[in-house]
Amino acid sequence: MFGSLIVVATYVLESIGTTSKIPPNMGPFLAIVLGLAVAAHIANRIYAPDANPVLLPLVTLLNGLGYDMLARIDAHYARLQAAWTAVGILAYILTLAWVRRSRDLDRYRYLLLLAAILLMLAPLVPHFGQNINGARLWVQIGPVKGQPVELAKILLCVFFASYFSEHQEMLSVPTARVGNRLVLDPRPLGPILLAWGFAMLVLGAERDIGFALLIFVLFISMLWVTTGRWNYILLGLVLFAIGAYAASHLFSQVHVRVTEWLHPSTTGQLMYGLYGLGTGGLTGTGLGFGLIKTIPEVTTDYIFAGFGTELGLLGTTLIVFAFVLVVGSGLRIAQTARSDFAKLLAVGLTVILGMQAFFIMAGIVRLLPLTGITLPFMAYGGSSLVANYVLVALLMRVSDEGERAAIAAEATATPISPQGGSPPPAFSPRG
């Protein structure tokens, strides 16, 4: 509720800074924002009453601030984002209602892998897939257009968690003998490497370097969490270096982004974003007072630069801390998970959210090349918003199961005396 009030206050301040008056649709906006937040909260109380109490308020806060910025930039995008937010909340509720136990997902790992493959292949289908800005990621059916890979990343995470949890011992304990030494048996890695390699090939064919990097980091992170072996990290770094070098020479859009990152021009998109951050300074120009419409793609790739212009370093730092808290909540959920599958699933879903936010924010400040990934919950994007709400719902399901198991274990470990109090301490005679 407090997060919703911050969203409403931000909306009012932006309207005053832009038009010098309170927005006329203040009542309906307040009702919609509070209504969606209350609907999600009621769903938690019904389907996941013991789930993490921090994650959903943080998500709704980030989503609301993103909507406020879109309303400040373009009313058309704001209306679309509001509609997609409602769809996302509905998807959140339906996911909690449908997935009553996380182990149900474990049973259908290969069906989910097949669904992920079909979703990734969908943009390559003629007359349905669309090529935008050099990447073939979008599928349009009638008036609805979206990126199927947004949902595919979640299904791949479920498959990785299921496979790794089942083969954890074989992947981490040396069992194969080479001469007089025991080494890791490479055979269990075969199916999972095949699935990952296929995903990389499809995303490469679609010129989707951002999501290819995200799936790569997801795979390596979950493999390391499963085994605890640093040699997998070293192998991942080597493969990443080879892949990055090949992509910069094979794909023109990757070459352009790397070149702009290394040698930004005064007319490039990156420089406009950096100018916006520089204009904001420490405290920003104020909500509604920044010239953020001069920043290219400010509704999608560069929305973080828009916040930096009007909120300054302090405001963007608070946004970064909000994402850090989201990641911390996800890792806390993984710690309390009741099974290896649920633990790995929570880690993978958290990696998706955290690395997606890191990649785009690091690209804006020129720490990394831009990847084209949207900032979760804040940037405009219907399929991204809906998929991320489904992701959060799965995290809440894992959290609810873990907390309930912990409560039950604590109740079992603390017996109650017949008089209702704690049992007296046992007498131990001396000597």
pLDDT digits (tens, 9 = 90+) for 92-105: 999 999 999 988 89
Say what the pLDDT of residue 393 is: 96
Instruction: Of 12-16, 30-34, 255-259, 389-393, give the range with the top mean pLDDT.
Output: 389-393
Beta carbons of 311 and 296 less than 8 angstroms apart: no
Dihedral angle at the C-alpha atoms of 334, 339, 342, 345, nearest 10 degrees?
80
The region of weakest confidence among 72-86, 217-231, 242-256, 347-361 is 242-256
As a three-state string, the secondary structure of the chain is CHHHHHHHHHHHHHHHHHHCCCCCCHHHHHHHHHHHHHHHHHHHHHHCCCCCCCHHHHHHHHHHHHHHHHHHHCHHHHHHHHHHHHHHHHHHHHHHHHCCCCHHHHHCHHHHHHHHHHHHHHHHCCCCEEEECCEEEEEEECCEEECCHHHHHHHHHHHHHHHHHHCHHHHHCCCEEECCEEECCCCCHHHHHHHHHHHHHHHHHCCCHHHHHHHHHHHHHHHHHHHCCHHHHHHHHHHHHHHHHHHHHHCHHHHHHHHHHHCCCCCCHHHHHHHHHHHHCCCCCCCCCCCHHHCCCCCCCCHHHHHHHHHHHHHHHHHHHHHHHHHHHHHHHHHCCCCHHHHHHHHHHHHHHHHHHHHHHHHHCCCCCCCCCCCCCCCCCHHHHHHHHHHHHHHHHHHHHHHHHHHHHHHHHCCCCCCCCCCCCCCCCCC
* Mean pLDDT along residues 271-275: 88
Confidence class for position 431, pLDDT limits 50, 70, 90:
very low
Say what the pLDDT of residue 88 is: 95
Q: How many CA atoms does the CB half-sphere of 237 hold within 13 Å?
A: 4
Q: Assign residue 369 a region: left if phi > 0, alpha if psi is -120 to 50, beta otherwise?
A: beta
* Mean pLDDT along residues 388-399: 96
Average pLDDT of the chain, as a whole number: 84
Tokens of 90: 């509905």
Say what the pLDDT of residue 423 is: 56
Beta carbons of 301 and 361 less than 8 angstroms apart: no
Give me the percent of the chain exceeding a pLDDT of 90.
Answer: 37
Say what the pLDDT of residue 427 is: 44
- Identify residue 190 by its one-letter amino acid code: G
In terms of Cβ atoms closer than 10 Å to its own Cβ (0-12, 13-18, 19+), residue 251 is middle
Q: Is the pLDDT of residue 304 over 90?
A: yes
Beta carbons of 119 and 149 less than 8 angstroms apart: yes
Q: Is the pLDDT of residue 30 over 80?
A: no
Rounded CA-CA distance 33/67 in Å is 10
Confidence class for position 245, pLDDT limits 50, 70, 90:
confident
Q: Which residue has the higher pLDDT, 362 or 173?
A: 362
Q: Is the pLDDT of residue 127 over 50?
A: yes
The region of weakest confidence among 104-118, 158-172, 257-271 is 257-271
Rounded CA-CA distance 219/240 in Å is 12
Beta carbons of 348 and 169 less than 8 angstroms apart: no
Q: Which residue has the higher pLDDT, 319 or 239?
A: 319
The region of weakest confidence among 155-159, 210-214, 249-253, 288-292 is 249-253
Q: Is the pLDDT of residue 414 over 70?
A: no
Tokens of 399: 């959290």
Give me the percent of the chain exceeding a pLDDT of 70.
Answer: 87
pLDDT digits (tens, 9 = 90+) for 322-360: 999 999 999 999 999 989 999 999 999 999 999 999 999
Q: Is the pLDDT of residue 266 over 70?
A: no
* Mean pLDDT along residues 235-248: 75
Say what the pLDDT of residue 345 is: 96
Say what the pLDDT of residue 408 is: 82
* Mean pLDDT along residues 233-254: 75
Q: Which residue has the higher pLDDT, 181 or 331?
A: 331
Beta carbons of 57 and 2 less than 8 angstroms apart: yes
* Sequence ranges of the domains in the chain: 2-406
Say what the pLDDT of residue 430 is: 44
Q: Is the pLDDT of residue 108 over 60?
A: yes
